[in-house]
Every structure is written in C-alpha cells, then in structure tokens.
C-alpha cells in the first residue's frame, strides 16, 4: 500500500504524543459539551466509541479535536503545564500528520482539516488556518457534500446509515457557516448559493436517534429555497438551521462592511433599494420570523443551557445583534456629525452626499445602533453570569464582546451620539472590558481585541470628567473608525512645524490621554516607548493649525480602524495593529 493511502501511522494508544486514555476521553467530552455543542459528531456514539478504544477514531481527527478542546480540559492543562502548551502539543502532532492526510479525500479528513483550521485561527496563525480550511473546502467539494443527492438513503436505511449521512451533511454546513463567520470583502464564498442543493441539518434528537426528518429547512438563496420559499422560514426549524441562516446573514454584512468603496459608489443608505435598506430589512424580517425559542431572552438562555446548547444559542443571538450593529456602525461618522450639526442648525455633514438624508434619518439609525449595543450587552452579561469557570466557548463570542465594548466607549466619549443610552455607556464599556479580561486568554487571536478595548476605555476612565466636557466643546469628531479626521490627517502629513512640536512637547500626560481617546495610536506609542519627536502628540496633531482637510481626504481616511478591526477578525492579509493601521501612512 502506498504511503498516500496508508494515512497516519500514529496510534493514540502507543504514541507518546497522546496523553492517557482517560485524558483523551476528558478532552473529547469537553469538545462536544462546550465548544461544539452543535456539531457533526453524534455525541453519545462518539463518546462511547472513544471510551472503549481511543484507536477507533482516526488519530488525525482525534489530534485536531484535542487542538481545540485541550485549552478547556483541566486534566490536559495540568498534564502539559498550561493551556498554551497543551494546545501546542496537539497542534504539533496534527501538523506532523498533514502531509500524509491531505491527498485522499474522506469525511474524517474533511472534518479534521476543518477543526485544524479552527484551532490555528484561534491560536493566531491565520495563514495556516486559511490553508487548512481551503483543504477542507476542496475535500467537501470533491465529496459533493454541497449536493442533496449525496445524502439520499433508501426508506428502510438503518439508523447508523442515517447518522452517518447526517454527520456528513453537518460537516458541510459547519464549513459553510465558519467561512461566513470569517468572511471578508476580498474572500469569495467557497460555495456559491446557486450551487448548493443540500438542505439544512435536522435537530439534535433526530440526529441522536438516527431519524431522517422530512421536510427539512433550507438556506435562502439556494435552489431548494427558490423552489420552496416557505421552507426557509419554517417556524419548526431547528436551532442548527437558524444558526446557519444567521451566520449566512453575518457573512453578507461582513463582506459589505469591509468594502473600501462602500461610501463612494452606489445608492445612499436612505434610498429605497439601497444595500443598506435591503440588508437591514432582511435582518428585520429574519428575526421576526425566527422560532420563539430561538429569539433572545434570559429565559430561553436558561432553557438551552439545560439542554447543553446554550453556547450554540448565544452564537445565534449574539451574531445577529452584531450583524445589526455593524451594518449601522459603518455610518458612525455621519451619525456623530449629524448630531453635532443638529445642535448648531448647521447643514455641514461628513460629505456632500449626506445632505440629502431625510430629517431624522441619522438619529433613527443612532437609536437603532445603540439599542442593539444595549441588547448585546444584556446577552454578554447573562453569558458571563452563567458561565462556569473553564467552560469552553467559540472565539466569535469574544469578538461580539469587543464590538459591544468599543461602541459603548465611543458613546461614553461622545454622548451626543445617542443621549438616551449615553448614561449607560460607561458601565457597558467597563463590563465588556472585564468580560474580555476573563475570556481573551483562552484564544490568543482575541488578545488584540482585549488590548484594543483597553486602549479605548482606560484613557476614558482616567479622564472621564474632562472627556465629557471635551465632547461638548467641539472636539473634532471621529470618523467611523474612532479616530478624528484631524488626527488621521496629521499622522500622514510631513508638514509639521517646529512651533507645533514645541507646543506638544510641553503637553501634560492628561492632555496626551485626552488625545489618545480619539486616536488610539497615541496610547500605543506611549506604551511602546518614546523615540524622538515622532512619538509625541505632535506626530499626530502637529499640523492641525495649518492643514486643511479636503472632503476627499476625509472620505479616504474614513473607516480605517473599523476595516482593521474587521480584517483582524476576518483573516484578511493585512498587518493589523493599533499603532500602524494607516496603510501607506508615514
């Protein structure tokens, strides 16, 4: 037999890279009960098989499972000395097996490469993650997992056959869902909707008992949904189906939010038929048609927790809230400028195009934006209160906490954004920072979100009194990336007068913190150490007395930090940092 067909020769029972049988079982239990509560493994059958004989599972698949769950399994953390070392042990083992596993498609290999991609992404290695996900996508395509005919079974099929087919179906939809979670505007969908005929997964009870349900729900945009539109919005659809549908909507929002030409081409957001109107209406309609048990409430969270599906439920409701928030956050600069100008009866807006907005349009958008932030905070607070110490969770939940905290921080700094919610902004921001502090260590890739929110919130907390007064006194408003046009322009300008430099060399630490509220790069430079004049406040603000920012410059600078935030989540090929988010800047 050729080496290609032999697969991995590593055996869990004999390899020193694998821990004891008891620790393997503990890691697998952690995987199916906390991280992937909705997944492609039939939980009872899988745990029974691994408990009897660890060698009954592909060593490659097993190592990839443990790559994810090791950090959440106390016995493995204790065995290897830390969650990082435990994770790295299984990552190293899985990587060793990649060359012998990647050339012959099978369901188990597809599942393994998918899990390895998740583990690498969570560990901060997005290049490896992207390549491994690409292998999983290609294998799924070769196995035709996106086609419904691949799952056809005879009417009298045994329960084991039904479970095997459902496992394959779930594998495809998990790949599709994860690709949407990490979708970017420059990353095309791996499976165009018009090519997908596979229907959505069944509920957990049918999966466990080997029941093939009819009818099944479908994903909007696929051929089955075009033929039977009502099947996409069935009130009886399972939580897994709702999760896939909600993540598909997030993929649309994320790809739109990251487009660099978003505000320079196309219709205005208030125009009928605009992308904004179409997508917000689709989100509204989807939530209105969700099954009652899939909608957000603390009661529903407790119910899903009793069924050990609370993390999957949160991945639905939180991602939906973030979708609604991000779709509006795109226009944060226009919202703020509109709020400022309303007080002054001033018709100046972020760009000439925004002058055509109907009366109250930006105020209504602000109310919707921050109502979403309040509800997302309610979900985060409930999650944190119910979470047991060491319980696993998907990394996407950390991003949801970051988005909530960052927007609350902007509102804390600029209460005119939404006066109704502004009194709650400080508490929401600090609570999100606390929750991030508890969560971010589990997933190294989320460390930047925690650092970013810390950089925004800490100066605000230190200078909250002056910040509030500063907001009302006409500070340059931030663009939707959270940095002012003035500071961003000055960072790029080479025309820094010596007079400006001397003025800012004498600035007090409080003044520097005040400026860092608007421009997080200043905080980063202060923390990283000073070298010459370029790390003083003057390097960001020095030319503001003489520089004139054209509307074209403002448009070009708009949304930079927001794009960086999104790209950091979405695995775009950029070098992101709070100090260097200006591409091509000086």
What distance lies between CA 295 and its chain's CA centroid?
A: 20
Closest CA to 294 of 304, 285, 281: 304
DSSP 256-314: HHT-TTTTTSS--TTSTT-HHHHHHHHHHHHHHTS-GGGS--HHHHHHHHHTT-HHHHH
User: In a 3-state reduction of DSSP, which class is residue 484?
Assistant: strand
How many CA atoms are closer than 13 Å to the CA of 549, on its beta-carbon side?
Answer: 25
CA distance 508 to 401: 33
Cis status, amide bond into 333, omega within 30 of 0:
no
Contact 434, 401 (CB under 8 A): no
Which pair of structure tokens corresponds to residue 473?
């006194």
Alpha carbon distance 410, 177 (integer Å): 30
Q: How far apart are CA 76 and CA 29, in angstroms?
A: 12
Dist. CA 18–CA 27, nearest whole Å: 11
Query: Cα–Cα distances in Å, from 494 out to 145, 489, 536, 543?
Result: 55, 10, 15, 8
d(CA 576, CA 495): 26
State residue 479's pLDDT score: 36
Q: Tell me how far the alpha carbon of residue 346 is from its chain's centroid.
A: 37
Contact assessment for residue 327 and residue 283, using Cβ atoms and an 8 Å cutoff: yes
pLDDT at site 546? 31
CA distance 202 to 88: 34
Handedness of CA 508, 511, 517, 520 (dihedral sign): negative
For helices 520-528 and 509-518, angle between their N-to-C axes, nearest 10 degrees: 130
> Is 0.85 surpassed by the pTM of this model?
no
The neighbouring-strand residues paired with 478 are 484
Cα–Cα distance, 125 to 110 (Å, whole number): 19
Cα separation, 244 vs 286, in Å, equals 12
Blockwise average pLDDT, block size 10, the chain, 586 residues: 46 71 94 86 94 92 95 92 92 95 96 94 85 95 96 93 97 90 63 93 95 90 92 91 94 79 74 92 96 96 93 95 95 87 58 71 96 98 86 81 92 93 94 84 68 68 48 37 32 37 35 32 37 34 33 37 55 34 32
Using only C-alpha atoms, the chain has a radius of gyration, in whole angstroms, of 25
User: Any idea where the domains of the chain sit in the sequence?
Assistant: 1-143, 331-472, 485-570
Q: How many Cα atoms sit within 13 Å of 372 on the Cβ side?
A: 27
Residues 482 and 453 sit within 8 Å (Cβ to Cβ): no
Q: For the packed helices 396-413 and 560-570, what is the interaxial angle rounded to 10 degrees?
A: 170
């Amino acid at each position: 037999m050729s080496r290609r067909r032999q697969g991995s020769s590593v055996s869990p029972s004999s390899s020193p890279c694998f821990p004891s049988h008891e620790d393997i079982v503990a890691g697998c239990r952690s995987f199916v009960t906390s991280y992937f509560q909705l997944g492609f493994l039939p939980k009872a059958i899988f745990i029974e098989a691994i408990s009897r004989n660890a060698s009954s599972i592909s060593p490659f698949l097993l190592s990839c499972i443990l790559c994810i769950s090791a950090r959440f399994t106390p016995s493995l953390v204790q065995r290897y000395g830390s969650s990082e070392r435990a994770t790295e042990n299984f990552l190293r083992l899985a990587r060793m097996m990649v060359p012998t596993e990647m050339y012959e498609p099978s369901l188990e290999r597809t599942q393994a490469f998918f899990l390895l991609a998740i583990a690498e992404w969570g560990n901060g290695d997005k290049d490896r993650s992207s390549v491994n996900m690409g292998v999983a996508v290609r294998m799924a395509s070769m196995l035709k997992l996106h086609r419904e005919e691949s799952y056809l079974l005879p009417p009298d099929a045994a329960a084991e056959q039904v479970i095997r087919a459902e496992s394959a179906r779930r594998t495809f939809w998990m790949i599709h869902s994860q690709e949407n979670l990490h979708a970017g505007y420059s990353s095309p969908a791996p499976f165009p909707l018009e090519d997908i005929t596979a229907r959505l997964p069944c509920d957990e009870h049918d999966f466990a008992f080997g029941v093939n349900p009819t009818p099944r729900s479908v994903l909007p945009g696929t051929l089955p949904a075009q033929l039977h539109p009502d099947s996409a919005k069935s009130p009886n659809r399972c939580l897994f189906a709702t999760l896939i549908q909600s993540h598909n909507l997030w993929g649309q929002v994320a790809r739109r939010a990251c487009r660099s030409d978003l505000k320079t081409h196309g219709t205005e957001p208030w125009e009928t038929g605009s992308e904004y109107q179409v997508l917000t209406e689709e989100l509204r309609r989807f939530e209105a048609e969700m099954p009652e048990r899939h909608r957000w409430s603390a009661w529903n969270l407790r119910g899903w927790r009793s069924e050990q599906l609370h993390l999957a439920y949160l991945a639905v409701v939180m991602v939906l809230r973030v979708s609604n928030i991000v779709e509006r956050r795109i226009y944060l600069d226009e919202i703020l400028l509109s709020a400022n100008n309303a007080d002054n009866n001033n018709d100046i807006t972020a760009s000439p195009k925004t002058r055509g907005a109907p009366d109250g349009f930006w105020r209504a958008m602000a109310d919707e934006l921050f109502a979403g932030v309040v509800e997302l905070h309610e979900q985060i607070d409930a999650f944190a209160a119910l979470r047991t110490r060491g319980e696993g969770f998907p990394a996407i939940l950390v991003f949801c906490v970051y988005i909530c905290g960052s927007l609350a921080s902007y509102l804390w700094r600029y209460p005119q954004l939404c006066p109704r919610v502004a009194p709650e902004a400080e508490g929401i921001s600090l609570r999100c920072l606390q929750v991030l502090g508890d969560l971010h260590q589990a997933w190294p890739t989320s460390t930047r979100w925690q650092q970013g929110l810390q950089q925004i919130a800490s100066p605000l907390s230190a200078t909250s009194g002056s910040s509030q007064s500063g907001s009302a006194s006409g500070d340059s408003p931030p663009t939707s990336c959270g940095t002012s046009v003035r500071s961003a322009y000055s960072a790029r300008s080479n025309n820094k007068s010596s007079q400006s430099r001397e003025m800012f060399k004498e600035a007090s630490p409080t003044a520097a913190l005040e400026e860092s509220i608007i421009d997080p790069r200043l905080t980063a430079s202060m923390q990283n150490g000073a070298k010459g004049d370029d790390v003083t406040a003057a390097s960001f603000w020095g030319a503001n007395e003489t520089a004139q920012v054209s509307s074209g410059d403002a448009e070009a600078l708009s949304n930079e930090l927001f794009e960086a935030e999104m790209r950091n989540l979405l695995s775009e090929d950029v070098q992101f940092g709070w100090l260097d988010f200006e591409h091509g800047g000086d």
